[in-house]
Amino acid sequence: MKFVSLLVASATSMLAVPAMAQENRDTTRDFNGPYISIGGGGTLQGSDRGETLVFDTNRDGTFGDTVTTSGGANAFSPGFCNGAATGTANLGCRNDRDAPEFFGRLGYDRRMGNIVVGAVIEGGHSVARDSVSGFSTTPASYTMTREADYQASARLRAGYTPGGGALFYVTGGGAYAKLDNRFATTNTANSFADNGRTNAWGYAAGGGAELMVTNNIGIGLEYLYTDVKDKDYVVNVGAGTAAPTNPFLLNGGGTDIQRSDPHFRTHSVRGTLSFRF
């Protein structure tokens, strides 16, 4: 709700521009035809409480196995936390990082009276970072971190304009992100290999408001929720210098690790500056 409240408050402020700024304009042509936009704002991450690491101890492609010690105990009994580990034992994690974002956009609108429909292609970058960590009885910590190298979406949008000048709209469509995945551990005995960058696909949806300040220049405010899914990132744990009784090696010589939640979800609140042709 805080995102909706922020959007409504900011849109209200935008529409408080003095009426004289609109008096000499032909608003019948607003929101009709092609445009380009640039924008920026903040990327905020949704709650990922309860996320863990999951294991495939016999590498049969099925995750959810328990990594056990030679005595049969759960090697990850200390637990997990949402964020990057701050120590080797289960002492807590740093919070995930919310961060700025920037993007560019190509769009086309078709106005039919007070109704506007259109399409948008957008690409950009955010430095928001999402981590999850696990802790073993060794003790050691294991952290997976991901952020989007770049992201893109292709969306439709539909809105209402009360006679031109201002547009209120909703938008939604497909989304893509090239994820930069990283793995860190304090375990110096086993070997670790991962597949680094992966592709994530999903959707984006939201809404916003736009105000024309001249015949060609518009400013806007938008909220966008994005959910992309990546099930390809895997960390392969090998023997390294560890003994055969090492918990990662007991069930066939190695273990694969993934995140329990493949979804990377973000909330964006952003401003736009548009030029209409």
- On whether residue 104 sits in a domain, the answer given is yes
- On whether residue 64 sits in a domain, the answer given is yes
- pLDDT tens across the length of the chain (277 residues): 444 454 445 545 544 543 444 556 778 889 999 999 999 999 988 666 789 999 999 999 999 999 999 999 999 999 999 999 998 766 688 888 899 999 999 999 999 999 999 999 999 999 899 999 999 998 999 999 999 999 999 999 999 999 889 999 999 999 999 999 999 999 999 999 999 999 999 999 999 999 999 999 999 999 999 999 999 999 999 999 999 999 999 987 899 999 999 999 999 999 999 999 9
Alpha-carbon span 77 to 4, nearest angstrom: 40
pLDDT of residue 7: 46
pLDDT of residue 63: 96
pLDDT of residue 155: 98
pLDDT of residue 18: 39
Residue type, 192: F
- On whether residue 199 sits in a domain, the answer given is yes
Q: Identify whether the C-beta of residue 182 lies closer than 8 Å to the C-beta of residue 198.
A: no
Alpha-carbon span 259 to 235, nearest angstrom: 10
Could you tell me if residue 269 is left (phi over 0), alpha (psi between -120 and 50 degrees) or otherwise beta? beta
0.85 exceeded by pTM = yes
The domain in which residue 119 lies consists of 2-18+37-276
Alpha-carbon span 228 to 243, nearest angstrom: 39
Q: Which residue in 260, 241, 274, 198 sits closest to 39, CA to CA?
A: 274
Residue type, 32: N
pLDDT of residue 92: 81
Q: Report the number of distinct structural domains present in the chain.
A: 1
pLDDT of residue 26: 76
pLDDT of residue 3: 44
- On whether residue 27 sits in a domain, the answer given is no
- On whether residue 29 sits in a domain, the answer given is no
> What contacts 44, CB < 8 A, 6 or more positions away?
3, 98, 128, 266, 267, 268, 269
Structure tokens at 11: 């849109």
- On whether residue 162 sits in a domain, the answer given is yes
Measure CA of the first residue to CA of the last residue in the chain; give whole Å. 35
- On whether residue 190 sits in a domain, the answer given is yes
pLDDT of residue 237: 97
Q: Identify whether the C-beta of residue 248 lies closer than 8 Å to the C-beta of residue 255.
A: yes
- On whether residue 24 sits in a domain, the answer given is no
Q: Which residue in 219, 202, 228, 170 sits closest to 4, CA to CA?
A: 170
Alpha-carbon span 220 to 274, nearest angstrom: 8
Alpha-carbon span 276 to 167, nearest angstrom: 14
Residue type, 204: A
Place of tokens 């023997």: 239
Q: Which residue in 219, 255, 225 sits closest to 75, CA to CA?
A: 255
